Amino acid sequence: MTLRLRYVASATRHRDLPDSPAEVAVVGRSNVGKSSLINALANQRQLARVSGTPGRTQLINLFAHPSGGTLVDLPGYGYAAVPNRAKAGWQAMIEGYLLERRGLQLVLVLVDGAIGPTKLDLRMLDWLRASAVPHTVVATKADQVKPSKLAGRRQQLAAACRLDEGDVYWVSASKRTGLDNLEAMIVNLLGSPPPRARSMPSAR
Ligand SMILES: Nc1nc2c(ncn2[C@@H]2O[C@H](COP(=O)(O)OP(=O)(O)O)[C@@H](O)[C@H]2O)c(=O)[nH]1
Ligand SMILES: [Mg+2]
């Protein structure tokens, strides 16, 4: 299967992005494989730029599906060489997007399958839970785990994320494994009718 995506726009602030009726966002630390996964799902080599230099994708990148739904590649977190002031800026950018973006249906939190969740991944998961932002964990680079270790690693990673094993998607962008289930889930969300209602403070 192929997720039909075309690049639409990039922005530093989510308010500058075009509206979306239904959106799925990809987050994770720099180098976890966000761009590679989007390219693999779309079956295009250069749709989302794959960078050997972590931390370079500093923009919110928006891609559109024929349904009208959209997919977003968020800037990666946790790149040590970035100055604190820039880190704070990125955090505000990502948090603003996650809390305020209308039409957001689901956040895919990418975790390196070979390494397991980092402290920052766990912090992101805690924050998403506490903020009641719908999310799912996707373990990347499954090809880097020895087949004999995979069953144990699946258990460990899910437990570390405080999830059931069956709730974690495992994918390899390079070997193109595990993509069909993920794609079916994404298409289901992008094709779905307009956004979940956001609860607003009641006017008095
Ligand atoms: N072995 C392996 N390497 C991968 C996979 N996905 C991404 N990578 C590599 O991980 C590095 C970071 O990938 P990238 O997609 O740019 O990560 P991003 O910073 O999260 O967008 C690149 O060198 C990729 O080639 C995968 O499924 N398997
Ligand atoms: Mg990237």
Torsion sign, CA atoms 171, 172, 173, 175: negative
Quick one: pLDDT at residue 92? 86
Per-position DSSP letters for 33-96, written without gaps between them: SHHHHHHHHHT-SSSSPP-SSTT---SEEEEE-TTS-EEEEPPPB--TTS-HHHHHHHHHHHHH
Q: How far is the CA of 149 from the centre of ligand 1 (A)?
A: 20
Return the DSSP state at 178. Answer: S
Ligand 1 contact, 28 CB (< 6 A): yes
Q: Which two tokens stand for residue 188?
A: 């289901």
pLDDT of residue 1: 78
Backbone angles phi, psi at 170, to 5 degrees: -115, 125
CATH at residue 171: 3.40.50.300
> Residue with the nearest Cα to atom 6 of ligand 1?
33
183 lines ligand 1 (CB under 6 A): no
Does 113 contact ligand 1 (Cβ within 6 A)?
Answer: no
Name the domain count of the chain: 1
> What is the per-residue pLDDT for 88?
77
Question: Is 202 a domain residue?
Answer: no
For the entire predicted model, the pTM comes to 0.90
Contact 153, 159 (CB under 8 A): no
Residue 41 domain-assigned? yes
140 Cβ below 6 A of ligand 1? yes
Looking at residue 203, its pLDDT comes to 57
Domain that residue 149 falls in: 6-190
pLDDT (0 to 100) of residue 200: 61
User: To which residue do tokens 């912090």 refer?
Assistant: 123
Tell me, yes or no, whether 95 lies in a domain: yes
Question: Which residue ranges in the chain fall short of pLDDT 50?
Answer: 55, 193-194
Q: Is residue 19 part of a domain?
A: yes
Residue 65: which region, alpha, beta or left (left: phi > 0; alpha: psi -120 to 50)? beta
Q: Which two tokens stand for residue 179?
A: 């993509």
Residue 11 within any structural domain of the chain: yes
CA of 199 to the centre of ligand 2 (A): 32
- Residue of 60, 82, 81 whose CA lies nearest to 14: 60
* pLDDT of res. 202: 63
Any ligand 1 atom below 6 A from CB of 32: yes
User: For residue 133, what pLDDT is reported?
Assistant: 97
In a domain, residue 135? The reply is yes
Q: How confident is the model at residue 190, as a pLDDT?
A: 96
> What are the tens digits of pLDDT across the range 22-33?
999 999 998 999
| C-alpha of residue 141 to centroid of ligand 2, in Å | 14
In a domain, 196, yes or no: no
Q: Does 203 map to a domain?
A: no
